[in-house]
Amino acid sequence: MALKLVVLCLVLIEFAIGDVIVQTYDGKIRGISQQTRNGITYNSFLGVRYGKNPINELRFQPPIPVDPWDDVFDATTEKGICYQVTLDSDLETEDCLLLNLYTPMDLSSNSSASLPVMFFIHGGGFVEGSGILEWGVGPQFLVEYGVIMVAINYRLGPFGFLSTGDSVIPGNVGMKDQLMALQWVQRNIKYFGGDPEKVTIFGQSAGAASVSYLLLSPLSKGLFRAAILESGSALSPWAYQRNQVEISFQTAAVLNQEFAENRNSSDLLEYLQSISGKEIDVASAELTAKIQNAGNLQISKGFFYTPVIEQQSDDAFLTNLQYESFANGLFNNVPVLIGFNAEESLFMISDGFPAILEAYDSDTKLVVPFDMHIGDLDVKQAVGDIIKQFYIPGQNFQDSLLAGVKYHSNQDFDKSVIKQAELQAPYIPVYFYEFTYSGKMGNNPTHLDGSGAVGHGEEQNYIFGRWYSDELPDNTDLSQFPQADVNVHYRFMTLFTNFAKYLNPTPEQEEILQNIIWPTVQTENFQYLQIDTDLSVNQGYPKSKMYSLWTNLYETYGTKPFDTF
């Protein structure tokens, strides 16, 4: 870790051109002025506090706004990250309600101009991840397109998503952290040259699911005007937990066997607020390792610590089922840009994947989505046989890694993302994409003959500058990449920033976009943009045979109301 910090400091010094102090609503903040490789000046404000340290009696509670300060807040270096269930880092802390802000606006001038804001929510299954530079969320590309970028931390794992299913620990405080960060932007972004009425939220994986949930929550109304979702949805099966009460008490029971029997929510809260954050972090990791197995995959049934449905209250984040809300137009009415990559589940190829496929062959009912709510075991077996026949006709899953990967890409990502777009299209402008270009800049080491070549998260390498990270290769020197890679990079940047600026990714024909006009999804005409070596507009659903299969299965055998899909 010390080496990482030294490298980071050297990079900051190399590109730094001076400090800058901004007077905000809460107090003065000192940032640092820097330049991109292309000589564009921007100002970085790192580790800005947007909420109080959520420890002791504030643990598991909605965030509290920061108090105003008199001194100058030092935002020239990064600080901590939230506790990670699946990782162990020296940077972990509960004092993590922090954001990074990058603005290309000349803050020393008296310009009255105001820039669009792109507010990024990181992924990581609600159990890991961060918006910090060291983890690859760099602004160097975005600021060159005349937008302000904000990247946040929010509480993860049990700290952000523990729930007793009642008023004691309602849950969703990680989502409420995101709301508070958006409220901070509304109060303060004007001081950095931003327009609070031009905020676009965007996220990848669990970050995209977060964006989806923010679309659904009445508490987020008016905090943003557009949304971009990369490879995730509130409809994704991994992004929702139905058994949150059991998981909460199981987490506590790892540390105190009393809670194997005691189901008193107040006792649970009192106990978990009395111990260290590290103990809770370790317990959540132990529980995950204990419960997860080849026949009980979180990615198919819901990660243990995710958003939940709350009881009705004035500060409830979510009280209605996601699927029903999207189907009935009960969401924030803003334009949406949404899509996925060619083969999202390439990351599942590992030493443990054959055991998962063996479990599917031993009990085909395991491939039937939990969210179909099929209680009859004979029906479930029949549906499992249909699914298996579609992916691996006349054979076993163990005979083909390819079949297993495609099943998980479709089941865990593709169908839910398409379904959200389809459900929202009658109410708002929806732009859908599929990313199919495999290039050096994507930095994907995993390939499988016969599969799509673009894996989960690969598009982020074309969007975020990564010269701060010693874990990821520097991608800001575009001369190292083939021209086709550079073109894809320019196209992603142009499409996404156009959407943030104009609420339309292609407001007019542009040469870099090959003069394509990206049409919206229509109720009776699903059109989408394929992002490959060239751009193309395609008619019909992406992966249409897959989507037809799953839609028919849910309609024929599923039990409504659905929550995820």
Residues 6+ apart with CB under 8 A from 385: 364
| Beta partners for residue 102, in sequence order | 44, 149
> What does the alpha-carbon distance between residue 45 and residue 358 come to, in Å, rounded to a whole number?
50
Q: How many CA atoms lie within 13 A of 238 on its CB side?
A: 28
> What does the alpha-carbon distance between residue 439 and residue 428 come to, in Å, rounded to a whole number?
33
- Please say if 205 is a catalytic residue: yes
Record the tokens describing residue 52, joined without a space.
Answer: 């109080």
Which residue in 98, 101, 120 sits closest to 53, CA to CA?
Answer: 98
- Please say if 122 is a catalytic residue: no
Strands (DSSP E) along 36-169, which ranges?
Answer: 41-49, 73-74, 98-103, 115-121, 148-152
Structural Rg of the chain based on CA atoms: 23
Residues 105/305, Cβ–Cβ less than 8 Å: no
> What does the alpha-carbon distance between residue 147 and residue 370 come to, in Å, rounded to a whole number?
41
| Concatenated DSSP letters of 505-519 | S-SS--GGGTT---P
Residues 57/206, Cβ–Cβ less than 8 Å: no
Strand 73-74 and strand 41-49: the pairing is unpaired
First-to-last C-alpha distance (Å) of the chain: 40
The verdict on whether omega for the bond into residue 561 sits within 30 degrees of 0, i.e. cis, is yes
Of 94, 344, 422, 458, the active-site residue reads: 344
Record the tokens describing residue 88, joined without a space.
Answer: 């162990």
Residue 226 — φ and ψ, nearest 5°?
-160, 160
- Please say if 456 is a catalytic residue: yes
Of 456, 458, 459, 469, the active-site residue reads: 456
Of 44, 163, 205, 325, the active-site residue reads: 205
> What does the alpha-carbon distance between residue 453 and residue 53 come to, in Å, rounded to a whole number?
42
> What does the alpha-carbon distance between residue 298 and residue 279 come to, in Å, rounded to a whole number?
22
> What does the alpha-carbon distance between residue 358 and residue 38 come to, in Å, rounded to a whole number?
52
Residues 149/98, Cβ–Cβ less than 8 Å: no
Which residue in 27, 56, 201 sits closest to 131, CA to CA?
Answer: 201
Kindly list the catalytic residues. Answer: 205, 344, 456
